[in-house]
Structure 1
């Protein structure tokens, strides 16, 4: 009897360890089977079949819909994933709608649907304005590379504004992109958005303004370079290039025009990086002044 109990206990531990290693939920429903096919068997097509069964059976519909969309995106079936989310998100609770919007934005990017991105990003900003983002909470828990961290409303607002500005850049609407990047930087500045803002200004041939935007960023980066090792210096070489160009006159440099060198260096740096409360943020009052510029 004791031996049987020990075997049962060992089997339970092994089963629990299996779920931890593969990050598969416990149970035997269609959603669990879908995750098993996705993560253990590495069979995305079978996973999609089981995700559909989970949605139709009402088994963790929101998780099944999001996970299925991610798998479809990996299989270059983003259009199908968009249709699925738009068709079945009504079955999901209100608390799941924000994460579904985030998945939908990624799918729109995958399909090059810039106008749809803009509409959805503006909707997310409206929810923040109304105090309805994060389901009314001041922060939310996010995950990146397996690590959890807290995101504030302030950070989320700046991130969404940065994505909105990037969408305008894809439509070559650099005036609107510039306005939105300025707003994003006023809330939660970072070097990535500064570089993108600089790119907008260069596209408008406003090189002196571009230098001004980068002044603080370059100063900080130069301090890092002065204390960095050789490997870090090599990794930050594009920054050295931009620093040297930022103080050069708009004339021929090494046989090339300033704007040619500057844009090339800027794009090299941008390619290395990924495109980072109050209920009513003052920034929205300022954005409202630029509605005509933001309209497409």
Structure 2
């Protein structure tokens, strides 16, 4: 009898270990089936079908909708993922709305929907001011590369501003992007954003200011995020090299013009490889002008 229990216990342990190793929940519901198809059987199209079944049956709707959108994005079905979130997010809890917004921003970026991306980023900034971000808490738990860590409101504000700056760069609105990056840097300096600021300044012909921003990164006066430091320094050095080439073009005519155009095209390629204007005063800051200082606190 005892040996039978032990065998049963070992079998239960193996079953539990299976769920831990494959990171799938236990049970026999539509959501569990979807996760099994996604992570174990590697059948994303079938997983999407079962995620739909989970949503329709009310089975872990928060997770089902988010996971389905992620799988759709991986399958180059981002447009469908956007429509799914828009159509069914009302079924999700209040706690899930913020992560759904973050997912939408990534999907907009993937689809090249820059205007929608900008609008949602501005909305998230407004939520921070109103105290609605992080469900009213000062910090939230986040996960990156399997590790959990705490994110503060200041860090989140700086991150959102960085994404907003990049979106403005996609519109060639470099003045607006510069303003956003400078605001983000006053909250939390970051080497990658400093590189983007340098590129904004180059595009505006303000080469000495750009050089100063990039040298701060090259000399490690501003740091990136851990393992990314070397890559960011390499970006700064690449931009400084392009900046030197621009300054070597002595004449804007004939051969000099073609060289200058070639360098600017190379800068555009650099910007596209990194994928994370009308007024000196950003629309988002016009909307939140009365609380811009509070955001930095």
Q: Structures share a fold, TM > 0.5?
A: yes
1:96-135 mapped onto 2 (5 Å cutoff)? 96-135=96-135
From 230, 244, 252, the equivalent of 2:249 is 252
Secondary structure of the residue that 2:247 maps to in structure 1?
Answer: coil
* Mapped partners of 1:181, 1:233: distance in 2: 21
Query: What is the CA-CA distance between 1:212 and the residue it aligns to?
Result: 3.0
Aligned residue in 2 for 1:79? 79
Aligned residue in 2 for 1:17? 17
Long gaps (5+) in structure 2: 224-228, 277-283, 293-297
Query: What is the CA-CA distance between 1:124 and the residue it aligns to?
Result: 0.6
1:147-226 mapped onto 2 (5 Å cutoff)? 147-220=147-220
Aligned residue in 1 for 2:289? 288
Greater mean deviation of Cα atoms: 141-150 or 116-125? 141-150
* Mapped partners of 2:181, 2:12: distance in 1: 53
CA 1:39–1:234 in structure 2 vs 1: closer, same or farther (change >3 Å)? Answer: closer
* Mapped partners of 2:236, 2:180: distance in 1: 24
Greater mean deviation of Cα atoms: 200-209 or 12-21? 200-209
With the length of structure 1 as denominator, give the TM-score of the two structures.
0.81
Secondary structure of the residue that 1:220 maps to in structure 2?
Answer: coil
Query: What is the CA-CA distance between 1:237 and the residue it aligns to?
Result: 5.6
* Mapped partners of 2:85, 2:222: distance in 1: 46
CA 1:180–1:259 in structure 2 vs 1: closer, same or farther (change >3 Å)? Answer: farther
* Mapped partners of 2:177, 2:77: distance in 1: 30
Secondary structure of the residue that 2:148 maps to in structure 1?
Answer: strand
Long gaps (5+) in structure 1: 224-231, 276-282, 292-296
Query: What is the CA-CA distance between 1:24 and the residue it aligns to?
Result: 0.2
Contact 1:55 1:61 in 2 (8 A): yes
* Mapped partners of 2:93, 2:232: distance in 1: 45
1:59-70 mapped onto 2 (5 Å cutoff)? 59-70=59-70
* Mapped partners of 1:27, 1:90: distance in 2: 26
* Mapped partners of 1:173, 1:239: distance in 2: 21
Aligned length: 273
Deviations 1:23-76 (A, max 9, x none): 001111111110001000101111111101110111110100000001111111
CA 1:286–1:194 in structure 2 vs 1: closer, same or farther (change >3 Å)? Answer: farther
* Mapped partners of 1:95, 1:234: distance in 2: 35
Secondary structure of the residue that 2:11 maps to in structure 1?
Answer: helix
